[in-house]
């Protein structure tokens, strides 16, 4: 049930991102304040649903729910708790989910604290971030679903890659993503498309 909740939360986040990618842009062109303000609420709701999905995957790992293929392939019931947490992003599917979570955090921060930005600029920034996010949501849901269930539930998992069972390697993906210039650049692309050009 937790895995399905996470999957549906991702589907709802995709639906919100599709609204966020178009309505604010239309509002900015037509100077429609209501459509531009829709970017704020959809960015915050998108963050809430992605956080819910990430939390659901984390619960699946911590409780060793081996009916979820991702948990089976990257965890083990005897694994220390810290590595059960880091196993969430210690694989392709989970790291993609972490990536969109961090992107959604940046979008939510713009929505919450971007009151000093002109309304059209803020709407365009959030729309550009949603264009990027929508591509990743589609990729996750159609090719890298972290919540895929196994037909037969195994008794034990395969274990996390031993290389990733080191504290330094366990914490580096969130630290790299948190510091990535890409998230700042995605917001900058909404302000000035020239920033997105190679060498910009």
For residue range 3-27, what is the model confidence (pLDDT) as tens digits?
A: 999 999 999 999 999 999 988 888 8
Q: CA 39, CA 25: separation in Å to the nearest integer?
A: 9
Q: What is the pLDDT of residues 46-65, one digit of tens each?
A: 999 999 999 999 999 999 88
Q: Show the tokens assigned to 164.
A: 């990733």
Lowest mean pLDDT, pick from 43-47, 109-113, 135-139, 185-189: 185-189
Pairwise pLDDT comparison (161 vs 132), residue with the higher score: 132
CA–CA dist 144, 159 (Å, integer):
19
- Mean pLDDT calculated for residue range 75-104: 86
pTM: 0.83
């Amino acid at each position: 049930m937790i895995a399905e909740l996470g999957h549906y939360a991702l589907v709802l986040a995709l639906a919100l991102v599709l609204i966020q990618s178009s309505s604010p842009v239309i509002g900015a062109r037509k100077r429609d304040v209501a459509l531009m303000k829709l970017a704020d609420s959809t960015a915050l709701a998108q963050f809430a649903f992605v956080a819910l999905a990430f939390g659901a995957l984390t619960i699946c790992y911590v409780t060793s729910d081996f009916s979820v293929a991702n948990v089976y392939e990257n965890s083990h019931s005897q694994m220390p708790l810290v590595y059960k947490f880091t196993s969430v992003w210690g694989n392709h599917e989970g790291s993609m989910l972490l990536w969109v979570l961090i992107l959604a955090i940046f979008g939510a921060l713009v929505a919450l604290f971007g009151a000093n930005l002109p309304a059209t600029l803020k709407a365009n920034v959030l729309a550009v971030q949603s264009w990027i996010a929508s591509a990743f949501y589609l990729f996750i849901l159609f090719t890298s679903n972290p919540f895929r269930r196994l037909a037969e539930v195994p008794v034990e998992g395969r274990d996390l890659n031993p290389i990733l069972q080191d504290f330094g390697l366990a914490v580096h993906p969130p630290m790299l993503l948190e510091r990535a210039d890409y998230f700042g650049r995605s917001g900058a692309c909404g302000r000035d498309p020239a920033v997105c050009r190679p060498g910009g």
